[in-house]
Amino acid sequence: MDIGFIGLGLMGRPMARHLIGAGHQLHLWARRPASLEPFRATTARAHGSAADLARHADVVITMVADAPDVEQVVFGDGGVAAGARPGLIVVDMSTIAPAAARDIGARLAARGIAFVDAPVSGGEVGAINASLTIMVGGEAEVFERVRPLFDVLGKSVTLVGASGAGQVAKACNQILTGVTVAAVAEALSLAAKSGVDPAKVRQALLGGAAYSRILEQHGQRMLERNFKPGFKAWMHHKDLGIVMAEAHRLGLMLPNAAATAQLFNAIVGSGLGEEDSVTVLKLLERANGP
């Protein structure tokens, strides 16, 4: 397939490489030309605008930061919609608000362009290993047409429901991951303050009902004090903001999500937003003292 890809950041870069490796012809455009440099020696073709990219694509994938970024590259001057060919499918794999996904889908449908929202979980490691979890919202027929691309990028692909449903699933995912990362940091902080080896405590907990992949993977990163971003804290802060906006819209009480959102708000406010989300451990250490 001819695939347009926009968003060659921490996760988009390895995702694009997997699609090239699977034999697809990639068409690239980037708001920052430096993002194209790693692809100079590949079969990918660079284009001067998102519209020009769309003229050559059967499917356009966007992997950007938030809804305003999606809207800019799709509907802005020289955007995807301006160059779309008949039958084009736009796949947004960013994490944005469900309402924004539904609105983008409706606006594209009015132009005869199909749309699915397909946010992912797994971070940079999942993108590199092609082991992402992909949560999809959209029409079943469109989903089946792009399913082969998802199978290249992830190990778990689920059509959750209609447009926006993928983003609802991702919001739920961010509640669970955010709350659990914070809980692991609290547990390891308690162990250290009690004079007990946090590594031994983690080892013990991994063998019981407290086991989780976050305790296993993120807990190890905390022990190693490896704060190099695999998923930046500011992005989790943004995602929890989506969660809380949905909670307000629906009149839901989500107390654990709300408390965790405040923790990530403090992380960003403390200047730690560019580090991995496990930097919540640093925040607790600052609050609780050495």
Query: What's the pLDDT at 290?
Result: 66
- The domain ranges of the chain are 2-161, 168-288
Query: What's the pLDDT at 289?
Result: 81
Tokens 């983003």 sit at which residue? 167
What burial class does residue 99 get, using C-beta atoms within 10 Å of its C-beta: 0-12 exposed, 13-18 middle, 19+ buried?
Answer: middle
- Please say whether the beta carbons of 108 and 87 come within 8 A: no
Report DSSP state, residue 276: B
- Give per-residue burial for 262-276: e unless 16+ CB within 10 Å, then b: ebbeebbeeebbebb
Angle separating helix axes 255-269 and 280-288, nearest 10 degrees: 80
User: What would the DSSP string read from start to end of 128-187?
Assistant: HTT-EEEEEES-HHHHHHHHHHHHHHEEEEEEEESTTHHHHHHHHHHHHHHHHHHHHHHH
The pLDDT tens digits of the residues spanning 259-283 come to 999 999 999 999 999 999 999 999 9
Query: What's the pLDDT at 83?
Result: 96
CB proximity list for 235: less than 8 A, separation 6 or greater:
65, 95, 277
CATH architecture observed for domain 2-161 = 3-Layer(aba) Sandwich (3.40)
Lookup: tokens for 205: 């907990």
Q: How far is CA 186 from CA 4, 38, 180, 193, 285, in A?
A: 43, 39, 10, 10, 10
- Please say whether the beta carbons of 243 and 171 come within 8 A: yes
Fold match, 2-161 / 168-288: no
Residues of the chain with pLDDT under 70: 290
Query: What's the pLDDT at 58?
Result: 97
User: Which active-site residues does the annotation give?
Assistant: 170
Separation between Cα atoms, residue 227 and residue 116, nearest integer Å: 33
The pLDDT tens digits of the residues spanning 162-214 come to 999 999 999 999 999 999 999 999 999 999 999 999 999 999 999 999 999 99
Separation between Cα atoms, residue 248 and residue 280, nearest integer Å: 25
In CATH terms, the fold of domain 168-288 is: N-(1-d-carboxylethyl)-l-norvaline Dehydrogenase; domain 2 (1.10.1040)
Query: What's the pLDDT at 183?
Result: 98
